[in-house]
Amino acid sequence: MQTVLFELGLALFLLGLLTGLAIPAMKNPRMGLSSHLEAVLNGMFLVLLGLLWPHVELTPGLGLTAVVLIGYAAYANWLATLLGAVWGAGRRFAPIATGEHRASSARERIVEVLLASLAVAIIIGVILVMIGLA
């Protein structure tokens, strides 16, 4: 699991770097900056979790659940903010970054679902890791 976390983290970190290069071409550059930062920071978090993993004592099923939830949350955070940047979406959960940009209701809904689901996923995943450290 440690190697999986390292690979997921480094891949997301790279996506964050590449997203940073694309910021000027986005409809909402401010949200693009958010996407860049989310990917870089969540990539580092996954690598850090990989370093911590040998100290996490969970059953194989709970360990896998924690990694899947946290990995999903990290990548969904990057994707939601990237889509928000490209589409000008995200008014409900990221009004400051979205500013005056508007997107279709379908696009707004996609970003909302990603942001809401990743919030639940990361909370449950981190709680599982904390239980594994207790």
pLDDT in tens, 62-71: 999 999 999 9
Residues 100 and 28: their CA atoms lie apart, in Å, by: 10
Higher pLDDT, 2 or 94: 2
What torsion, rounded to 10 degrees, do the Cα atoms 25, 26, 30, 31 define? -150
Pick the residue with more confidence: 129 or 89? 129
Q: Grade residue 90 by pLDDT with cuts at 50, 70 and 90.
A: confident
Q: Residue 91 — pLDDT band, cuts 50, 70, 90?
A: low
Predicted pLDDT of residue 4: 98
CA distance 119 to 19: 22
At 99 the pLDDT is 72
Whole-model pTM: value is 0.92
pLDDT given for residue 33 in this prediction: 95
Mean pLDDT of the chain: 94
Write the pLDDT tens digit of every residue in 96-110: 667 777 778 899 899
Is residue 26 helix, strand or coil?
A: coil
